[in-house]
Amino acid sequence: MSGAEGDPGVPAGQIHAEYRPDLRGGLIVLVDRIVVQTNSATPTTCSFYRGGVEDINLIEYTGSGDIDIADEFQPLYLPAASKLIAVWEGASAGAAGVARLQIRVARVSGGSY
């Protein structure tokens, strides 16, 4: 997932990147590892949201969006119809951000998810 500061509809100083799995019913994505990186000339932070960019949807955060690695003890759960959005704050003009995900796809049986 990648994005750039200055992309249409993105506030100045922010970078947005989106991952939307193309999965069918009964499948989910488990995110085991995230690596974030930017080429920003200024320090950044990076937040990850499930579904939409609202405080209630925040599921992961790093105080160093310029280069950081998160190995999730408990994987981040991403339902098939959902999306994962990375938002870098404090990015310099024209900066680009990349988030690399290590994921597993799992089949859910029984219950309601």
User: Mean pLDDT in the chain?
Assistant: 88
Residue 111: predicted pLDDT: 58
Number of H helices, E strands in the chain: 0, 8
Average pLDDT over every residue of 4-27? 84
Asked if residue 59 belongs to a domain, the reply is: yes
pTM of this structure: 0.86
CB 16 within 8 A of CB 3: yes
Asked if residue 45 belongs to a domain, the reply is: yes
In this predicted structure, the answer to whether residue 43 has a pLDDT above a threshold of 90 is: yes
Give strand pairing partners of 19.
84
Query: Whole-angstrom Cα distance, residue 107 to residue 111?
Result: 12
CB 67 within 8 A of CB 39: no
Domain that holds residue 12: 2-107
Number of domains in the chain: 1
Asked if residue 42 belongs to a domain, the reply is: yes
Tokens 């100045």 map to which residue? 12
CATH code where residue 11 lies: 2.60.120
Asked if residue 112 belongs to a domain, the reply is: no
pLDDT per position as a tens digit, 51-96? 999 999 999 999 888 888 888 888 998 887 789 999 999 999 999 9
| Burial track 11-47 (b if 16+ CB lie within 10 A, e otherwise) | eebbbbbebebebeeeebbebeebebbbebeeebbbb
pLDDT per position as a tens digit, 45-62? 999 999 999 999 999 999
Asked if residue 113 belongs to a domain, the reply is: no
